[in-house]
Amino acid sequence: MKRETLRKITIFLIKLLSRPEYSGLEHLPKEGPVIVATNHMSRVDTMLLFINPVRKDITALVADKYLDYPFFRFILKTGGVIFLDRSQADFGAFRKAREVLKEGVALGIAPEGTRSDTGQLQEGKPGTAMLAATTQTPVVPVGIAGTDTYFRDILRLRRPRVQVCFGPAMHLPPLDRGKRDEQLNQYTEDIMLAIARLLPERHHGFYKHHPRLR
């Protein structure tokens, strides 16, 4: 199956089963390298980014556990994702991410590092900030709301309304070797707060009481 065929099938299924709404699309560059940093509450999040109306070239970092499932492996490989071993520092996946950004591709990443089972933002990890700062690639934050109950609503014969909201691009300064850890923590917090601002308060989770979010 070709990638474009998969995209058309995904668009059809998502629109058949739910009501996706995209906003802030003017913040997503039509071309050139960009990191799309999103919250992650459901397996459908990746599909919603895959069918965004602006960047058909978008790919994503996805946990390599899906390689154990033939159906998901086929779909994800067709979509051209980068598989990531989340049990360790996966330098191979990091290198591939740098390569696709160098090629001018849009790359989707969940800075939380894993899917949230509670529908709440988890504390961000520094990988996204590291990639953005070392490659000097802009980061576009995305808040996806409504996917935490997506499949439950469908099973109840409801068409869930999901919102995918893009925010203004962020440009992270290069890292200072002497302040690397401090800067990475700050950049990670900046990215996570930008995502939180695009989400309803019920999803703020770890950042709910952060003074800068208020």
pLDDT at 75 (0 to 100): 81
Q: Considering only CA atoms, give the Rg of the chain.
A: 17
Task: Answer whether 66's CB lies under 8 Å from 72's CB.
Answer: yes
Per-residue model confidence as pLDDT tens digits over 125-147: 999 999 999 999 999 999 999 99
Rounded to whole angstroms, the Cα distance separating 116 from 122 reads 7
Q: How far is CA 56 from CA 8, 79, 181, in A?
A: 11, 10, 34
Residue 73 has pLDDT above 90, yes or no: no
Residue 2 has pLDDT above 80, yes or no: yes
pLDDT at 149 (0 to 100): 94
Domains by residue range for the chain, with CATH: 3-204 (3.40.1130.10)
Rounded to whole angstroms, the Cα distance separating 95 from 115 reads 23
Tokens 């989770």 belong to 205
Which secondary-structure segment (H or E) carries 127?
helix 127-135
Rounded to whole angstroms, the Cα distance separating 142 from 55 reads 14
**β-strand partners of 46:** none
pTM equals: 0.93
Rounded to whole angstroms, the Cα distance separating 171 from 68 reads 37
Residue 82 has pLDDT above 80, yes or no: yes
pLDDT at 72 (0 to 100): 75
Rounded to whole angstroms, the Cα distance separating 176 from 135 reads 14
Residue type at position 38: T
Residue 19 has pLDDT above 90, yes or no: yes
Considering only 1-15, 72-86, 190-204, which range has the smallest mean pLDDT? 72-86
